[in-house]
Structures are given as C-alpha cells and as structure tokens.
Amino acid sequence: MSGTSLDGIDAVVASFSEAQPTVLGHVSAALPAALRATLLSLNVPQGHDELERAAIAGVELARHYADVALEAIRQSELSSKHVRAIGCHGQTVRHRPDHGFTLQLGNGALLAELTGLTVVTDFRSRDIAAGGQGAPLVPAFHDAMFRSPTHARIILNLGGFSNLTVLRPGHETRGYDCGPANVLLDGWAERHLGQPFDCDGAWSQSGTVAPALLRALLTHPYFLRTPPKSTGRNEFHLGWLEGFHETHRLSPRDVQATLAELTAQTVADCIATEWCEGLEIYCCGGGAKNRALIERIQALLPKAPVRLTDDLGIPATLVEATAFAWLARELLHHRSASLPAVTGARGKVLLGAIYPA
C-alpha cells in the first residue's frame, strides 16, 4: 500500500487462516524523492507528456513494490511458495468518480513478473463502473475484522484523507471520506520544515489556530455534500490552500495549526452526525501517530474514548495494507467485498483484476 500522502510503501504478509488475521511480517520503505515528486506532479493536470510520465512512474513503482513485497516475505521467514497472492492498491494520481474513472499507477503485470506471484490490483474501477464512488473500500474489511455484536464503533482512518467506517450492531455498515488529513499536513511540513511530516504534531502545537483561515477552508463545498462521497488531491492540495490570502499573512506554524484543526473538526463533525450512546472510536493510518491530532479529536469528542486499532488486534499503521491483502483474498475466492451503501454503487460487484503468476 502506498497512500495519497505519499509517505512510503507499506507491505504486510498476512495469514487469514484464523478469524483474526495474523501479520507474519511487515516492511515500510520510503519512496525515492524523484519518484515521489513525479507522482505529486501527476496528481494535477500540468506539465507535458503526462501519459508517458505516468507509465514510466508505474513501472518504477512496480519495481519498488516488488522489492518491498519480497523483503516482507523474507522477514516473515516464509518462502514465496507459501504466498497465494499479492494485493496491490497502486498509487492514486487521479480520483474522479464524477467523470467515471479513477487512476492508480503500479503496473500489476510487471509486479507479477518480478515476484513470480499472482497479483490482484485495480480494486476501485469496477465499483465506479457500477455507478459508485470507488472509495472508501476498506469499510468492508473494517466490518469483517472490527465489528462488535454489542458495541457501536467507528473506525477512523487518518491517511492522506480522513475517512470513517460506522459499525452499529444490527445496522448496515456505512463509511465515507471526511476531508483532508496528512495530504495537507505533510505537504505543508515538507515545504516549510524540509521534513516529510510533522512528528507527533509538535510543530502544529507550537502555532495558533487562525479562525479566519479555518472558516475560509471550511467553505469548501465537499464538506456540505452528503454520503456516499469521496475526495482526493484534485480537490484538496497545496495549490488550493495557497489560494487563500491568509496563508501569505500568517506564520507557517500557524497555518499548520489551522490545518490540524481543520482535520480534527471535520472528523469530529462527521462523527457527531453518527453519534450514539456508548460509541467507541478506533484510529488507524499514519495520522494515528500524530499525538497532537489524536488529542485534539479526543477533546472535541469528550464522551467517546479515542483509541488505536492496536487494541483490536491490528496495529494502526498496518490496517490498510492488511485490508488490501484481504480484498485480494476475497476476489480470489470469488466473493464480493463491495458495500453499495458506502460507495453508492448500483449493487455488489467483484473488486479487482487478477494478473496470474
């Protein structure tokens, strides 16, 4: 898995022989700076020869995916013959369900060739073809792994974008994107600190939230849409942020503080609409390591304990990679893992495309 925040590649070796998955090995690797810059540039229409640049980036990504996957297998002390398949989400560079498409780079055919393993990829396209958003897809995995027969739970993923899964006993699973998270926080930190992320949210805590900028950011029409809904870098990116005059008058740390508050408030607003007595909130994704952000979300939702999915058996930073291993497994068993109530698709479909070994 390499997400929209472009913070690296995560690979897990997951066994599903028991009711709860077991992570037998995992590896995280940074993306090379030049490749990361290319992928960022491909997220918005700009430059020349986008088709060739995207194809070349997909080939390079596949080579890195292969290296990371094979290293995860080595660390698990298994051999490739024990692995049924690789589930590979690919790197999203355009997500436009409003235009009937989503684009993830990665070259599944080359990944299969380099590893000698079956590859399942392109998980989003079929849902979009069926009229859905193609995202978020992980609520089905959250439902399978984290649902409780007695407790209402929200699984909050804090990745490039924040999204939540609502698991109420006796009710249909719901889920949708709340808004931007690491996509803006990491981008702003990289631009002004020269670091890939704001460790523990310490920089944002050193600043002061700017109410006028926060109000302006919250006017984005996405926040008024009703689910099913999903978003991406085409709507929230540094260019959008810098279009607000306030960013040029404020100190960078105050902008970072405001971005953290934007993430916390939009998450809290979404959870408030799903509120019920005894609600439990479990966080996952890279943003789960942002201590200041988690503390702020807890402060905005004082009646619900905010924990990490580690307490439910899967480390917060490994949930999404494990989810795409599970999605690959579901397709290989010819089982639909789509949730039309989440994505808005016309009906349940099989998710993914298979490149046999």
CA dihedral (46, 51, 56, 62) positive or negative = positive
Q: Taking residues 154-174, what's their average pLDDT?
A: 97
For 24-46, write each residue's pLDDT tens digit. Answer: 999 999 999 999 999 999 988 87
Query: Mean pLDDT, the chain, as a whole number?
Result: 96
3-state secondary structure 212-272: HHHHHHCCCHHHHCCCCCCCCCCCCCHHHHHCCCHHHHCCHHHHHHHHHHHHHHHHHHHHH
Instruction: Inform me whether the pLDDT recorded for 148 exceeds 90.
Output: yes
Architecture of the 9-134+319-355 domain: 2-Layer Sandwich (3.30)
Q: What is the mean pLDDT of residues 202-227?
A: 98
Asked if residue 161 lies in contact with residue 289, where contact means CB atoms within 8 angstroms, the answer is no
pLDDT of residue 77: 94
What's the pTM? 0.95
pLDDT tens column, 238-289: 999 999 999 999 999 999 999 999 999 999 999 999 999 999 999 999 999 9
Per-residue pLDDT, averaged over 195-210, amounts to: 96
pLDDT value at residue 157: 97
Domain segments of the chain: what residues? 9-134+319-355, 139-316
Note the pLDDT of residue 7. Answer: 84
pLDDT score for 45: 81
pLDDT at 4 over 90: no
Residue among 193, 156, 153 nearest 296 (CA): 156
Asked whether the beta carbons of 122 and 104 are under 8 A apart, the reply is yes
pLDDT at 193: 96
Residue 57 pLDDT > 90, yes or no?
A: yes
**Residue 226 confidence class, pLDDT cut points 50, 70, 90:** very high
What is the identity of the amino acid at 110?
L
228-234 average pLDDT score = 94
In angstroms, the CA 59 to CA 335 distance is 29
For the chain, what percent of residues have pLDDT higher than 90? Answer: 94
pLDDT at 149: 96
Rounded Cα distance between 78 and 27, Å, is 14
Q: What confidence score (pLDDT) does residue 120 get?
A: 98
Whether the per-residue pLDDT at 107 is higher than 90: the answer is yes
What mean pLDDT comes out for the span 328-356?
A: 98
Which of 350, 215, 198 minimizes the C-alpha distance to 289?
A: 198
| Section 314-319 average pLDDT | 96
Q: Give the confidence band of 299 by pLDDT, cuts at 50, 70, 90.
A: very high
Fold match between 9-134+319-355 and 139-316?
yes
pLDDT reported for residue 348: 97
- Topology of the domain comprising 139-316: Nucleotidyltransferase; domain 5 (3.30.420)
Parallel, antiparallel, or unpaired for β 91-96 and 101-105? antiparallel
- State mean pLDDT over 53-78: 97
